[in-house]
Amino acid sequence: MKKKILIISGGVSKERAISLDTGKQVAKELKKNNYSVKISEPNFELPKIISLFKPSIIFNALHGQFGEDGYIQTILESENIPYTHSGVISSAIAMDKILSKKIFIKNKILTPKFLLYKFNKTKKDLIKLIEKKLKFPVVIKPINEGSSVNVFICNKKNIFKKLQNLEIYKKIIIEEFIPGREIQAAIIGKKKLGAIELKPKRKFYDYEAKYNPKAKTEHIIPVDLSSKRYNNLMNISMKVHNLIGCRGVTRSDFKYYKDKFYLLEINTQPGMTKLSLVPEIAEYYGISFIKLIELILKDASTDK
C-alpha cells in the first residue's frame, strides 16, 4: 500500500495562488498513481487534520512568507512527521536575501553587490550611496519574498517612485543590476538535476514573466554552454544547496555575464505548476512528474 500524503497549500502570502496550483498539480499526480492524498490549508485546523488523517509524509506546497521561511517548518517539527523540502534553519536562511548573500560571499560564491535600505535616508543621501557603492541601474526588492514579488529595476530618475511600492516592508535590499543571460539550475537531494535558460519578452524574469502564459517567456533547454561552464554552474548550485543545508529540491537563479555566473538567490520550494521550471528540467532529463514528486518525498525528513 502506498503512503498517505498530506499536502499543505494556500496560505496567506502573496504567492497563495501559485501555492494552490502547486498543491493541486501534485495531488492530481499522486492520486493518479494510487496514493492516498489530502490537501489542507496551514490554519488552526491543521493539527486536527494531521491527527485524523495520519499521513506518512507531509508535502509542503507553500510558497513565500510563512511557507518557506522556517515558520511552517517549525510547526511541522512539533508533529514529528517527515515533511518535504528544507528544514527550519535552512529555509529561514535561504528566504532571507541578506543573510544568504553574506553566506555566498563568505564562501567565495559570486553574487551582485548590495545594500540594506531601511527607508530612513534622504533622497540625496541614497543617490550618493548608490552611486558610490553600486552604480545605476539597480534592483530593489523585499528581503523575504519569492516569485519576484515587488522586484523592480530602477534608474536615478524613477527609483523613488518605485520605492513607494516597497514601503510596506521595514527594510529592503538594493542590489547591483547584472545584465546578461537568465539561467536557473536545479538540485534534487544529492543529484544535479539540470539547468534552463530563460529569455523573457519583458524587461526581466518578473512575476508576470513567470506565471502569465501570455508573457511568452522563451525556455531554452539544454542551455547553450560549454561542458566546462555547465559543470561550473551545476557545481555552484550543489555547493550552495549543501552550504545552507537544504534537502529535497532547490532551484538556484543566476545571471551569466562576461563569462561569470552571478548567484542571485536559492529557492528552497520551487513551484510545481504547469509553468514551473523544475518539472520542465526534470522532464527533459527523463524524470517524469511523478518520479520527481517521489524523489522529493524520498528526501522528506525532520530536523530532529
3-state secondary structure the chain: CCCEEEEECCCCCCCHHHHHHHHHHHHHHHHHCCCEEEEECCCCCHHHHHHHHCCCEEEECCCCCCCCCCHHHHHHHHHCCCECCCCHHHHHHHHCHHHHHHHHHHCCCCCCCEEEECCCCCHHHHHHHHHHHCCCCEEEEECCCCCCCCCEEECCCCHHHHHHHHCCCCCEEEEECCCCEEEEEEEECCEEEEEEEEECCCCCCCHHHHHCHHHCCEEECCCCCCHHHHHHHHHHHHHHHHHCCCCCEEEEEEEEECCEEEEEEEECCCCCCCCCHHHHHHHHCCCCHHHHHHHHHHCCECCC
Which residues are registered as beta bridge partners of 155? none
C-alpha of 179 from chain center: 20
Active-site residues, by number, are 15, 147, 211, 251, 253, 265, 267, 271
Residue 230 contacts by C-beta under 8 Å, 6 or more apart in sequence? 195, 223
CA angle 60, 65, 68 (to 5 degrees): 35
C-alpha of 107 from chain center: 20
Task: Return the C-alpha cell found at 244.
Answer: 545552507
